[in-house]
Amino acid sequence: MSFQEPKLKQKKSSGKLDKKNSFDHIGPVHLTKVDWQSGHHRRSIAASLVQSAYVLEHDRQENRQGCEALAPQWWEFFNFHLLYPLIDSNDSSIFGAVFEFRAFNYYQTGIIPRYVIAFRGTTIKKHSVSQDLRLDLNIIKHGLHQSTRFGVAMQAVQSMVSAVGPKNIWLAGHSLGSSIAMLVGKNMAKMGNNLESYLFNTPFIAAPIEYIPSEKVKRGARFAGSLVKAGLTVAMKGSKENRSPDDLFTALATWVPKLFVNPADHICCEYIGYFEHRDRMEYLGVSGIERLATQTSVTGLLKGAIGRESEVIHVVPSAYVTINRSPSPTFMQAHGLQQWLRDDLHLQSKVYQYKL
C-alpha cells in the first residue's frame, strides 16, 4: 500500500515538553511485559494505538519531527510500527493510522493482531477542529457514512481484510473515531468479516434517559420509546423502500464489538440502558416489541419515511460492554481516552448476544 505523506505546517517547534501527549507521562508504562491473553492488557494496547492517532495529528500541527516527535513511542513500546497514516483530504489532517505488529506469529492468529487500524476522536487543534466538529454533526444526523473520512477508513480496512483476512486485524477508536470504527465494523460484518473491535466512548445519539434518577421513570421512558419505534417500524413495512432492516440487523448478530463506556459520560452512557432494557423486555415476555425497536432510532425511521438515507451507527445487536465504575469527577475525565490506559479501574463487564 502507498504511504501518503502528511502535509506539515512549517512553523518552529516550541521545544516545550507536551505532557498531555507524552507516553512517559500518561501512557501505560506498567505494561513492560504484555500478556496478550489478558483483556486488560489488550484494552490498554488498543487505547494506546488510538492515542497514537491523536498524537500523530498533534505532531503534524506542531511540526514535531524526528527525535522531537511524540507519537512513535506510543506504538514502539508495544512492538508495533506505523505502516501509514490515514489522511482526511478536506483538511489534510491525520485521523487514523494502520499499525503492524513486528513480531507477529501466524500461530497466534486471533490472539495477537497482525494489524491494528485506529481512529482518533475530535481534537481542538485549530487546523482540524472545524472538520472534526462537522463530522460530529454528521453523527447526530446519521450521515457519517457519506463522509470522505469514512470512505478512506473503509477502503483501508477492506484492503487489509482482502490481503490478510479478518482474524488478523483489530479495529480501535475513540469518540468520533469510535463511530467511524463502529460503522466500518458493521459494514464488514454484513459481508461476513467479523473484526475484533475496541470502541471507546462511542456516541449514542438518543435522549439521556440513563441520567434520570428514578429507576421506575427510567424504565417507563424506555418502554414507551420501544413502543413508539416498534409502531413506526410496523407502519413503514408496507413500503418496499422502507422495509424493516431485520435481515441486515440479524446479519450483524455474530459480530461482538467491545464497547467501553462510562456512566458519567452522557455521550456514550445510553449503551448501558440500551442493552439492559433489551434483556428486561425479554424477561417480561415482550421481546417481540424490542426486536423491532432495537434495530433503529426514531430519527432514522423518520428520515427513511421521507426518503432520506441514514445510517444509525449506535444500533448494534451484540456487544461485550465494559463499564468504568471508577469515580469520574468531570465530563472530560468520563469521556477521555486516558481512563482506559489505567490499570486501577473498577470495571464491570457483560456480553450481550443477540438471539436469532
Burial class (CB in 10 A: 0-12, 13-18, 19+), 52: buried
Nearest partner of 181 among 139, 141, 140, 210, judged by Cα? 139
Backbone angles phi, psi at 333, to 5 degrees: -70, -40
Q: In this predicted structure, what is the pLDDT of residue 240? A: 42
**pLDDT value at position 80?**
96
pLDDT (tens place) for every residue of the chain, 356 residues total: 433 444 444 344 445 678 899 999 999 999 999 999 999 999 999 999 999 999 999 999 999 999 999 999 999 999 999 999 999 999 999 999 999 999 866 556 668 999 999 999 999 988 999 999 999 999 988 889 999 999 999 999 999 999 999 999 999 999 999 999 999 999 999 999 999 999 999 999 876 666 666 766 666 666 555 545 555 555 555 444 444 445 677 788 899 999 999 999 999 999 998 888 777 766 555 555 455 555 555 455 444 544 455 577 888 889 999 999 999 999 999 999 999 999 999 999 999 998 76
Tell me how far apart the alpha carbons of residues 106 and 91 are, in angstroms, rounded to a whole number: 38
pLDDT at res. 41: 96
Contact 85, 97 (CB under 8 A): yes
Closest to 197 measured CA to CA, from 119, 86, 287, 97: 119
| Pairwise CA distance, residues 19 & 26, whole Å | 8
Question: What pLDDT does 56 receive?
Answer: 98
pLDDT at 54: 98
Handedness of CA 220, 143, 133, 122 (dihedral sign): positive
The pLDDT score that the predictor gives to residue 203 is 95
- What's residue 103's pLDDT? 81
